Amino acid sequence: MKRLVEIRNQEFLCRERALRDSERKSFWLAKAAEWEQCALDEIAFHFRECNLDMAAAR
């Protein structure tokens, strides 16, 4: 889950940058959306792994 924290931090930084860089706001928001999708993928991966571990334990 440490990786998730790092991904969310990158997303946050991109959103902060979007607030400060009005000329490239759409670029930074697009990058933030990419990081958000990475976070969702990481969460999904984590739950798949947990489900595999639980299935193997049975």
DSSP string of the chain? -HHHHHHHHHHHHHHHHHHH-GGGHHHHHHHHHHHHHHHHHHHHHHHHHHHHHHHHH-
Query: Between the CA of residue 58 and those of 49, 52, 53, what are the distances in Å?
Result: 15, 10, 9
Kindly report, residue by residue over 4-36, the tens digit of the pLDDT: 999 999 999 999 999 999 999 999 999 999 999
At 1 the pLDDT is 78
Kindly report, residue by residue over 34-47, the tens digit of the pLDDT: 999 999 999 999 88
- Of residues 54 and 25, the one with the higher pLDDT is 25
Which of the four pLDDT bands, split at 50, 70 and 90, describes residue 53?
A: low
The model scores a pTM over 0.95: no
CA end-to-end distance (rounded Å), the chain:
24
d(CA 30, CA 24): 10
